[in-house]
Amino acid sequence: MCGICGFTGEIIDRGDKQEVLRRMTEIITHRGPDSSGFYTDEDVAMGFRRLSIIDISETGDQPIYNEDKSLVLTFNGEIYNYRELREILLQKGHVFTTQTDSEVLIHGFEEWGEDLLNKLRGMFGFAIWNKKDKSLFIARDYFGIKPVHYAVVNGNLVYGSEIKSILEYPGFERKFNRNALDRYISFEYSVPPETFFEGVYALMPAHYLWFKNGKVETHRYWEPKFEPDESMTEEEAVDEIAKVFEESVSAHKISDVEVGCFLSSGVDSSYVSTYFSGQKTFTVGFDNGERYNEIEWAKNLSEKIGVEHHYKVITPEEYWGNIRKVQYHMDQPLADASCIALYFVSKMARDYVKVVLSGEGADELFGGYNIYHEPDDLASYQKLPLFLRKALAGVAKALPFRFRGKNFLIRGSQPIEENFYGNCSMFTMEEKKKLLKKDIPCTRPQELTMPYYNRVKDLDDVTKMQYVDINVWLVGDILLKADRMSMANSLELRVPFLDKEVFKVASRLPKRLRVNSENTKYAMRKAALRRLPPETAKKKKLGFPVPTRVWLREDKYYNIVKDAFLSEASRQFFNTDALMKLLDEHKAGKCDNNRKIWTIFVFLVWYDIYFNGGSHEPGVMPELH
């Protein structure tokens, strides 16, 4: 695992090119503390930080070249089928000088060009410079496990695994993107391809980029299409899942260093951990009751499957003391409170191993989120005439108080395209209008998700929801925190569910074998049951609960958030009276506003770091200005 960065062209009156590249590379040292590498000529500068995993000798260092050195590669990720591709390329006459998976990319690109991408099995973000035609090619993996960002500055392309590198480029002018705040308030994360920095974009998953003659062109080379096979039986589905997942875990364990596994009480990571007999698992939790602590579940399972289990209880002081450090490493604000817990489990794991496997992606591929039950729950009600459902929803909205079934009446009056725009939805349009200052854009989040719905309009509602989550939620939240929190601790995180061969099987499952009245991830749980005790395989989806709702009712943490809500930065973007109402109602126990409060608070912390020059060091929360 590594980090890459670079830029094209010369730096005019802005300092030495090698020195600029060194700064861009050093700021992401956490992604690769083992070594660094550089390539510069009059047309390009390419930097690299290495975390040694495969071919850990110096021969695996980058940049890597083809035979005549006309192509130059820097690469972040792992290619799990590199040995098979290497053999094919050797038979075609290519000459290899290392044992690393990186070299397969440079020779593969020379042989197949863009068609290389669909031959790969792995996670990747890489850049290839062609000295002959002075073009730069950049590609990102199928699901967006590894990040790539880019900007065009004064006609030059500037790129990096993390936005931090781009911010170090002397010609880049740091400007806050107000459009990103609008989307963040709806989704709790910055929705790609836009970022919170004007002019900086995320290369989308399964896309590649060409930069030639001062122009950027992006293309999609793969799409996660669902094609349910209604003839598939339960037994066939379970057999196929069990077989392909075992193969995927085996491929993802390839390494020249020890590999460990994250472990919660859920079926996803538990299923992965059953392939780790005699190795190490890692869990964190909070001392706020069983709801916020999965350590005992993980400990018991570890004993049953014969792994060495390590755990940590995170104190409130540790959690709050590291919010700034976590948001700094995120590059952009992420209001998923579990990202800080992920930081701590990554930090603990790095004391023992360099690589861990985790369970991300199972919910999106196999239908794991509880919200996926909603189409079935609403089915009977939606048989009523639309005019009647809309009338009932209008009455429910008009009533100023909450009551059981209010949300059911409102959501039941709308098609799935209107009432679901991702696994997480924060503020309604009405709430956004009250909250945001008038000069901040305020748009319907459905405008962003509708193009995805249009691509799957002939499929059932559950499959539509999964498709939207794979393209939006998985990229903007789940994989962002997985990459940033592991890399902040120089730890490689691998996700065997997010494998294109696993997806081939998941994409064929009929809806009844994904989500039904018995459970979510139905067929996948049946496959896991072959290796797990029933209480784990059948356990209801919990997520990674963090006791923010409890803490925000304590004076100490209430006051920290209050100071942020009344800060000068807050007044730039929000109506502070509306913010304080959210906070005070929550503290008084009138309603649970903790996720909405957290969404705003995290943004203000992040903004203070990146635009007010605030500290990102761990410790007591400094005052926001």
Tell me the residue type at 138: I
Of the pLDDT bands very low, low, confident and very high (cuts 50, 70, 90), residue 55 is low
Give residue 175's pLDDT: 97
Nearest alpha carbon to residue 411 among 392, 387, 385, 424? 392
Give residue 219's pLDDT: 98
Average pLDDT over residues 390-407: 82
Task: For helices 594-611 and 576-587, give the axis angle rounded to 10 degrees.
Answer: 130
Check if the beta carbon of residue 7 is closer than 8 Å to that of residue 25: no
Distance CA 318, CA 284 (A): 12
Kindly tell me if the per-residue pLDDT of 56 is higher than 70: no
Kindly tell me if the per-residue pLDDT of 621 is higher than 90: no
Tell me the residue type at 173: E
| Residue 96 burial class via C-beta count within 10 angstroms: exposed 0-12, middle 13-18, buried 19 and up | middle
Check if the beta carbon of residue 286 is closer than 8 Å to that of residue 546: yes
> Sheet containing 71-79: which strands, arranged edge to edge?
64-65, 71-79, 122-130, 135-140, 207-212, 215-220
Give residue 372's pLDDT: 96
Of the pLDDT bands very low, low, confident and very high (cuts 50, 70, 90), residue 422 is confident
Place of tokens 């998700």: 449
Backbone angles phi, psi at 456, to 5 degrees: -130, 30
Check if the beta carbon of residue 365 is closer than 8 Å to that of residue 502: yes
pLDDT per position as a tens digit, 93-104 = 999 998 899 999
Pairing relationship of beta strands 355-357 and 259-262 according to DSSP bridges: parallel
Question: What single-letter DSSP state applies at residue 7?
Answer: E
Check if the beta carbon of residue 473 is closer than 8 Å to that of residue 423: yes
Check if the beta carbon of residue 262 is closer than 8 Å to that of residue 269: yes
pLDDT greater at residue 146 or residue 403: 146
Which range, of 278-282, 345-349, 534-538, averages the lowest pLDDT? Answer: 534-538
- Average per-residue pLDDT in the chain? 92
Kindly tell me if the per-residue pLDDT of 521 is higher than 80: yes
Token output for 252 = 């993802």
Check if the beta carbon of residue 349 is closer than 8 Å to that of residue 495: no
Give residue 550's pLDDT: 95
Distance CA 312, CA 352 (A): 14
Kindly tell me if the per-residue pLDDT of 530 is higher than 90: yes
Check if the beta carbon of residue 53 is closer than 8 Å to that of residue 257: yes
Average pLDDT over residues 501-515: 98
Kindly tell me if the per-residue pLDDT of 543 is higher than 80: no
Q: In angstroms, what CA-CA distances link 451 with 180, 217, 446, 470?
A: 18, 20, 9, 14
Give residue 1's pLDDT: 56
Check if the beta carbon of residue 273 is closer than 8 Å to that of residue 265: no
Give residue 14's pLDDT: 53
Torsion of CA 496, 498, 503, 506, to 10 degrees: 80
Q: Would residue 442 show up in a list of annotated catalytic residues for this protein?
A: no
Residue of 2, 5, 261, 339 with catalytic role: 5
Token output for 141 = 């993996």
Place of tokens 């698992």: 281
Kindly tell me if the per-residue pLDDT of 290 is higher than 80: no
pLDDT per position as a tens digit, 567-615 = 999 999 999 999 999 999 999 999 999 999 999 999 999 999 999 988 8
Question: What single-letter DSSP state applies at residue 233?
Answer: -
Task: For helices 338-349 and 323-330, give the axis angle rounded to 10 degrees.
Answer: 90
Average pLDDT over residues 43-69: 80
Other CB atoms within a 10 A radius of the CB of residue 370 amount to 14
> What is 234-368+468-537's CATH number?
3.40.50.620
Give residue 401's pLDDT: 74
Nearest alpha carbon to residue 341 among 547, 479, 516? 547
pLDDT per position as a tens digit, 299-320 = 888 888 899 999 999 999 999 9
Token output for 510 = 């009929």
Pairing relationship of beta strands 149-153 and 122-130 according to DSSP bridges: unpaired
Nearest alpha carbon to residue 553 among 515, 587, 523? 587
Distance CA 528, CA 242 (A): 7
Domain coordinates in residue numbering, the chain:
2-220, 234-368+468-537, 377-422+442-467, 548-611
Check if the beta carbon of residue 7 is closer than 8 Å to that of residue 45: yes
CATH top class, domain 2-220: alpha beta
Kindly tell me if the per-residue pLDDT of 13 is higher than 60: no
Kindly tell me if the per-residue pLDDT of 624 is higher than 70: no
Distance CA 128, CA 46 (A): 9
Percent of the chain clearing pLDDT 70 (strictly above): 96
pLDDT per position as a tens digit, 24-41 = 999 999 999 888 899 999
Q: Please tell me the number of Cα atoms within 13 Å of 383 on its side-chain side.
A: 4
Give residue 57's pLDDT: 55
Average pLDDT over residues 77-86: 95
pLDDT per position as a tens digit, 201-215 = 999 999 999 999 999
Backbone angles phi, psi at 397, to 5 degrees: -65, -35
pLDDT greater at residue 535 or residue 554: 554
The distance in angstroms from the start CA to the end CA of the chain is: 37
Nearest alpha carbon to residue 248 among 227, 267, 275, 225? 275
Kindly tell me if the per-residue pLDDT of 154 is higher than 60: yes
| Residue 399 burial class via C-beta count within 10 angstroms: exposed 0-12, middle 13-18, buried 19 and up | exposed
Give residue 623's pLDDT: 58
Check if the beta carbon of residue 254 is closer than 8 Å to that of residue 80: yes
Distance CA 312, CA 180 (A): 35
Average pLDDT over residues 88-114: 96
Other CB atoms within a 10 A radius of the CB of residue 138 amount to 24
Stated as kind and residue range, the H or E segment containing 335 is none
Distance CA 111, CA 108 (A): 5
Check if the beta carbon of residue 165 is closer than 8 Å to that of residue 28: yes
pLDDT greater at residue 496 or residue 618: 496
Give residue 387's pLDDT: 85
Kindly tell me if the per-residue pLDDT of 172 is higher than 70: yes
Give residue 596's pLDDT: 96
pLDDT greater at residue 185 or residue 277: 185
pLDDT per position as a tens digit, 317-346 = 999 999 999 999 999 999 999 999 999 999
206 φ/ψ sector (left φ>0, alpha ψ -120 to 50, else beta): left
Distance CA 195, CA 246 (A): 37
Non-local (6+) Cβ contacts of 360 within 8 A are 268, 474, 478, 479, 482, 495, 497, 498
